[in-house]
RNA sequence: GCCGACAUAGCUUAGUUGGUGGAGCGGUGGACUGUUAAUCCACAGGUCGCAGGUUCGAGUCCUGCUGUCGGCGCCA
């Protein structure tokens, strides 16, 4: 009974027709009711034009006083941008600019806009702000989400998330959740957000990995998409303090095999976007041929030592043993058409959980995937140090206290196996595949060292 | 943590060697029967980020503060 009442209410409010369906020609010459928001308007005393927006697109509505009558005409004519409404009309095909139009027969305003506080985001607010990165638009982010560029970015983002889930689930991976409150660091100690925790200190997690390794002997193939937090005061177009991290962990796997998963995942995301979001990609200015290459071409692999040689041959001042910072990454990737793997970093440049190369223990079995066009590192991963003896040696070498990693060491004490995994920066992938100028363009409410609002 | 810029109406901005701040968009009123970033006329809207200083006089010059933006390091 209660269910039925609820259902009836829902069916009254539920939207029947989307604007994209009308523009696709499914309702030509018939009367339809659409629900949406006023995007733009113009007109005269007897005829009024409103472009109505919903989540799927826009359509121009033609309102003639002689058809709708004076009351409805004046009501609609006096309504401002972003008023919400329900409007009825006949779908007519025209050869004018915006495809089909609605010859309006009636309409009512649902949520009005006060003329004393009109919608603040105007054309001029955006003309100097490709991508919406002015201070004003960042302050009005909750309203900026409605603009067509941001809507397209959010749709692209949704497809990236969906592609990651389908990739892992099609391979029978188990989705597995780790806590976001943690007691210690995964990487260096300086990047943790400290939060009060009932009189103690806790931290926001930087990575799912350590907890995933705990479940590796139980699930063998596991993945997640979850936020990670890093308290770095980074001021670049590639960094957020809260970012979405797609991570995976596999038992019985080598660095080589983990890389194969990473390459297939990134190519799968690229081809999914081509299938699902070509229109959106083009609308935000991305060249589809480039994205197709990311989907179709194999990703070259290069050892750290080769990268150093290439850089030195180009006259870059770099010594063996240094981690490759962004300025060097950029020089290395500037001629790339597709992402490239960089493997076998010196042990001294990487943390203890990376497994030393049995062939030459100056190196570790790890990989970074560097995106082309300066978008930076999109994957970091590798084989884990998996025996008790080796993990204790590596922890001691780094001077890290063992206590903090007791549970991590325990995993090796009870049936340790070779295993590995990687972390992929989902927001970075979204920025790269959409060709965004800044990582903020692809996440609804970006968080960085200077901004936590709105 | 380091380096570099910027701050004028709701928004985007002009503002000369220091002499009482202009425009476009948006808003309000009006004109126009097919516009499409509509057009045209009129009106309203500003402690020039904050606090000091120099000067007869500061949006403009100097100092400090705050906020924001960009770049580096760190990484996804």
The answer to whether A428 CB is within 7 Å of strand B is yes
| Confidence band, pLDDT 50/70/90 cuts, at residue A129 | low
Q: What are the structure tokens assigned to A315, written together?
A: 């006259």
| Confidence band, pLDDT 50/70/90 cuts, at residue A68 | very high
The answer to whether A19 CB is within 7 Å of strand B is no
The answer on pLDDT for A378 being more than 90 is yes
Mean pLDDT of chain A: 90
Task: Please tell me which residue lies nearest to nucleotide B1, judged from CA to C1'.
Answer: A233
Q: Are residues A102 and A168 in the same domain?
A: no
Q: What is the pLDDT of residue A10?
A: 47
Q: Are residues A90 and A214 in the same domain?
A: no
Q: Has residue A172 been placed in a domain?
A: yes
What is the distance in angstroms measured between the alpha-carbon CA of A283 and the sugar C1' of B2? Answer: 38
Beta carbons of A231 and A268 less than 8 angstroms apart: no
Mean pLDDT value across residues A375-391: 94
Q: Has residue A448 been placed in a domain?
A: no
Q: Which of A29, A20, A13, A65 is nearest to A44 (CA)?
A: A65
Q: Has residue A449 been placed in a domain?
A: no
Cα(A37)–Cα(A82) distance, integer angstroms: 5
Q: Are residues A231 and A350 in the same domain?
A: yes
Q: Are residues A165 and A80 in the same domain?
A: no
Mean pLDDT value across residues A191-217: 92
The answer to whether A7 CB is within 7 Å of strand B is no
What is the distance in angstroms measured between the alpha-carbon CA of A191 and the sugar C1' of B33? Answer: 65
Q: Has residue A321 been placed in a domain?
A: yes
Q: Has residue A185 been placed in a domain?
A: yes
What is the distance in angstroms measured between the alpha-carbon CA of A338 and the sugar C1' of B17? Answer: 55
Mean pLDDT value across residues A79-99: 90
Q: Are residues A162 and A286 in the same domain?
A: yes
Q: What is the pLDDT of residue A333?
A: 86
The answer on pLDDT for A180 being more than 70 is yes
- Domains of chain A: total: 2
The answer to whether A280 CB is within 7 Å of strand B is no
Q: Has residue A123 been placed in a domain?
A: no
C-alpha distances out from residue A1 to A5, A6, A11, A13, Å: 6, 9, 15, 19
Chain B nucleotides with an atom closer than 7 Å to a protein C-beta: 1-3, 10-13, 24-29, 31-39, 67-76
Q: What are the structure tokens assigned to A318, written together?
A: 């770099």
A 407-426 residues, CB < 7 A, strand B: 423-425
Q: Are residues A186 and A264 in the same domain?
A: yes
| Confidence band, pLDDT 50/70/90 cuts, at residue A331 | confident
The answer to whether A53 CB is within 7 Å of strand B is no
Q: Are residues A97 and A199 in the same domain?
A: no
Beta carbons of A215 and A254 less than 8 angstroms apart: no
Considering A111, A129, A163, which residue would you say is the last residue of a domain? A111
A 344-373 residues, CB < 7 A, strand B: 368-369
What is the distance in angstroms measured between the alpha-carbon CA of A377 and the sugar C1' of B75? Answer: 8
Considering A96, A111, A126, which residue would you say is the last residue of a domain? A111
Q: Are residues A260 and A387 in the same domain?
A: yes
Nearest nucleotide relative to A330: CA against C1': B72
The answer on pLDDT for A6 being more than 80 is no
The answer to whether A155 CB is within 7 Å of strand B is no
Least confident residue range of A171-185, A254-268, A284-298, A313-327: A313-327
Q: Has residue A452 been placed in a domain?
A: no
The enclosing domain of A403 has a CATH number of 3.30.930.10
Q: Are residues A65 and A159 in the same domain?
A: no
What is the distance in angstroms measured between the alpha-carbon CA of A395 and the sugar C1' of B58? Answer: 63
The answer on pLDDT for A399 being more than 90 is no
Beta carbons of A203 and A192 less than 8 angstroms apart: yes
Q: What is the pLDDT of residue A14?
A: 61
The answer to whether A399 CB is within 7 Å of strand B is no
ipTM of the complex as predicted? 0.89
Q: Has residue A15 been placed in a domain?
A: yes
Which domain, by its residues, includes A94? 2-111
Cα(A411)–Cα(A300) distance, integer angstroms: 34
Cα(A257)–Cα(A367) distance, integer angstroms: 11
The enclosing domain of A14 has a CATH number of 2.40.50.140
What is the distance in angstroms measured between the alpha-carbon CA of A232 and the sugar C1' of B2? Answer: 14
The answer on pLDDT for A314 being more than 90 is no
Cα(A51)–Cα(A59) distance, integer angstroms: 5
Q: Are residues A333 and A184 in the same domain?
A: yes
Considering A111, A134, A158, which residue would you say is the last residue of a domain? A111
What is the distance in angstroms measured between the alpha-carbon CA of A428 and the sugar C1' of B67? Answer: 27
What is the distance in angstroms measured between the alpha-carbon CA of A231 and the sugar C1' of B66? Answer: 23
Cα(A419)–Cα(A40) distance, integer angstroms: 56
Q: What is the pLDDT of residue A420?
A: 97
Q: What is the pLDDT of residue A167?
A: 98
Q: Are residues A92 and A211 in the same domain?
A: no
| Confidence band, pLDDT 50/70/90 cuts, at residue A5 | very low
Nearest nucleotide relative to A188: CA against C1': B74
Strand partners, A376: A371
The answer on pLDDT for A69 being more than 70 is yes
What is the distance in angstroms measured between the alpha-carbon CA of A235 and the sugar C1' of B2? Answer: 12
Q: Are residues A105 and A152 in the same domain?
A: no
């Amino acid at each position: 009974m209660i269910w039925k009442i609820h259902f009836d209410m829902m069916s009254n409010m539920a939207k029947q027709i989307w604007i994209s369906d009308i523009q696709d020609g499914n309702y030509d010459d018939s009367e339809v009711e659409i629900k949406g928001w006023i995007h733009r308007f113009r007109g005269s005393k007897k005829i009024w034009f409103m472009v109505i927006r919903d989540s799927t697109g826009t359509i121009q509505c033609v309102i003639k006083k002689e058809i709708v009558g004076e009351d409805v005409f004046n009501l609609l004519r006096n309504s401002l941008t972003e008023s919400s409404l329900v409007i009825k009309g006949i779908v007519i095909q025209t050869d004018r600019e915006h495809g089909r139009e609605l010859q309006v027969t009636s309409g009512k305003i649902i949520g009005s806009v006060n003329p004393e506080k009109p919608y603040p985001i105007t054309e001029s607010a955006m003309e100097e702000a490709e991508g919406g990165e002015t201070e004003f638009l960042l302050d009005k982010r909750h309203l900026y989400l409605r603009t067509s560029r941001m809507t397209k970015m959010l749709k692209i983002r949704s497809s990236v998330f969906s592609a990651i889930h389908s990739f892992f689930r099609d391979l029978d991976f188990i989705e597995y959740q780790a806590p976001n409150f943690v007691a210690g660091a995964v990487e260096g100690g300086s990047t943790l957000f400290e939060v009060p925790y009932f009189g103690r200190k806790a931290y926001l997690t930087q990575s799912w990995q350590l907890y995933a390794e705990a479940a590796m002997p139980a699930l063998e193939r596991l993945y997640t998409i979850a936020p990670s937090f890093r308290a770095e005061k980074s001021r670049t177009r590639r960094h957020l303090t809260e970012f979405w991290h797609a991570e995976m962990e596999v038992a019985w796997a080598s660095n080589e095999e983990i890389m194969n998963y990473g390459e297939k995942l990134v190519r799968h995301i690229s081809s999914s976007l081509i299938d699902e979001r070509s229109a959106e990609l083009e609308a935000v200015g991305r060249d589809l041929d480039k994205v197709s290459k990311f989907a179709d071409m194999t990703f070259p692999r290069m050892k750290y030592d080769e990268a150093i040689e290439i850089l030195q041959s180009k006259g870059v001042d770099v010594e063996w043993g240094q981690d490759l910072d962004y300025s060097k990454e950029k020089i290395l990737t500037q001629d790339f058409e597709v992402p490239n793997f960089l493997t076998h970093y010196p042990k001294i440049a990487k943390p203890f959980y990376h497994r030393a190369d049995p062939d030459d223990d100056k190196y570790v079995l790890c990989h970074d995937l560097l995106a082309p066009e300066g978008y930076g590192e999109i994957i970091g991963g590798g084989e884990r140090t998996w025996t008790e003896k080796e993990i204790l040696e590596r922890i001691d070498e780094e001077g890290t206290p063992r206590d903090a990693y007791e549970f991590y060491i325990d995993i090796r004490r009870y049936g340790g196996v070779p295993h590995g995994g990687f972390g992929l920066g989902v927001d970075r992938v979204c920025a790269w595949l959409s060709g965004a100028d800044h990582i903020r363009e692809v996440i609804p409410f970006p968080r960085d060292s200077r901004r936590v609002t709105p």
